[in-house]
Structure 1
Amino acid sequence: MSIDPAVYARLLEIADQLPKVPGIGKIEIADGQIVMMMSPVKRHELAVLRLSRQLNAQLPTTHPGHIAYHGADLQDAGLGRLRNPDLMVFPEATLEGEQRAVLPHEVLLVVEIVSKSNPENDYHDKVRDYSAMGIPFYLLVDPRTGTGVVHSEPGYESREKFAFGDTIAVGPWTLDTGSLLTYA
């Protein structure tokens, strides 16, 4: 599952030097490869916004000092992984640091909104990676089908499925999925 640290370091160098290409939203590193992700569609981004608002409203009570944020990379150099989740919950102070990415031990929740173009990545590869990183909760939201899955530790053995419209528990948080839209 992990790759040689020198290979991973070289992949990071290459990724940092890639030109910005219109339509390419994120660059990730997984399985010894640089993966260029397409820019998300509007309903994908709307789901991220609506879920982050709900989480940020609850975090002052459940985890003071934490935020639900959508712009940071997640890196596990030991596994040779650089991911850019759609949304993560971690301490706000993490953004003050000098490191290039959020580290897995800082993250309480990762959220991925399934893309139209590469759903296998979210359903298989990221389940494996986020579990291996030790992230307690992984919320998978699929606007293609109007469904989702709450994965929880250990090893994401617990998988609670839901349909858009359900109110779900994700660890200490409660999320109303009624405002999520399917892809047109």
Structure 2
Amino acid sequence: MTVPPDNARQGASHRYRAMRDFIQSMEDTLPGRFEITKEGIVHDMMSPSGRHELTTLGLRKRLEKVMPEEIVAHTGKPDVEDEPEGVMRRPDVMVIAEADMDGEGSFDPRTLVAAVEIVSRSNPDNDWVSKLRDYPLIGIPVYAIFDPRTGTGAVLTDIHPTPDGPRYATRKDFVYGEDVTIGDWTISTEDLPLYQEP
């Protein structure tokens, strides 16, 4: 039996809202962070390490030094959400106009100038695989990945259509110590912390 597209879309929307309600009910009772991807709920049970948070702070400060005052490097809540695509994410750093933060609920991902992620030691595929698929799908024009495991990263831009859905066409890899350009702004990656061996 074939389900008509409208019913399929309605079912997907109902499934997404059920996952979203579940996350809201669990957020204050379970440790870690919840996000929704095309595959379902991602639960990163580990709290970010000190070096992850130091990297987040360092990148936020470096970006805000070079960006115009009306653009901020926001860390924390709320999420970015595209309900029709069934995706809710919370980037480590969201480069966004302060005016686009004004409102209730999640940010529209298409208002972000860039999303910056610091790779988690406990779940690196979330940043290098899942978000690499989800961020162009929901219209985030620039995705920068910093990997404290290896002291490397990449900046991805130029969303274009592919048979598997929207993808970034341009990838610029870097190693810590080099300057990196995110959107219109270039920052140093000098002295960003690396994860220590367990």
Note whether the superposition's TM-score is higher than 0.5: yes
Structure 1: segments with no counterpart, 5+ residues: none
The residue aligned with 2:135 is 130
Question: What's the C-alpha RMSD, in Å, of the aligned pairs?
Answer: 1.7
- Aligned with 1:27 (options 21, 34, 38): 34
Q: Which whole-Å CA distance do the structure 1 matches of 2:97 and 2:27 have between them?
A: 31
| Residues 131-176 of structure 1 deviation map (CA, whole Å, 9 limit, x = unaligned) | 1112111000000001000111123111111111111122211010
- Aligned with 2:150 (options 142, 145, 153): 145
The residue aligned with 1:175 is 187
Structure 2: segments with no counterpart, 5+ residues: 1-8, 160-166
- Aligned with 1:43 (options 44, 47, 51): 51
Say whether residues 1:114 and 2:119 are aligned partners. Answer: yes
SS, match of residue 47 in structure 1: helix
Q: Which whole-Å CA distance do the structure 1 matches of 2:181 and 2:74 have between them?
A: 19
Query: Does the CA contact (< 8 Å) of 1:167 and 1:176 recur in 2?
Result: yes
Task: Give % identity.
Answer: 38
Query: Does the CA contact (< 8 Å) of 1:150 and 1:161 recur in 2?
Result: yes
Question: Displacement, 1:10?
Answer: 1.1
| Residues 13-53 of structure 1 deviation map (CA, whole Å, 9 limit, x = unaligned) | 1111115346x232111135222222100000111111111
Determine which structure has more spread, i.e. the larger CA radius of gyration: 2
Aligned residues: 178
Identify if the C-alpha distance between structure 1 residues 146 and 77 changes in structure 2 by more than 3 Å, giving closer, same or farther: same
Q: Which whole-Å CA distance do the structure 1 matches of 2:29 and 2:21 have between them?
A: 17
Say whether residues 1:79 and 2:85 are aligned partners. Answer: yes
Q: Which whole-Å CA distance do the structure 1 matches of 2:52 and 2:27 have between them?
A: 24
Alignment of 1:65-76 (within 5 A): 65-72=70-77, 73-76=79-82
The aligned amino acid for 1:121 is N
SS, match of residue 84 in structure 2: coil
The residue aligned with 1:97 is 103
Most deviating of 139-148 and 51-60: 51-60
Question: Displacement, 1:65?
Answer: 1.8
Question: Displacement, 1:59?
Answer: 1.9
Q: Which whole-Å CA distance do the structure 1 matches of 2:83 and 2:27 have between them?
A: 23
Question: Displacement, 1:91?
Answer: 1.7
The aligned amino acid for 2:25 is Q
The aligned amino acid for 2:150 is T
The aligned amino acid for 1:84 is R
SS, match of residue 106 in structure 2: coil
SS, match of residue 85 in structure 1: coil
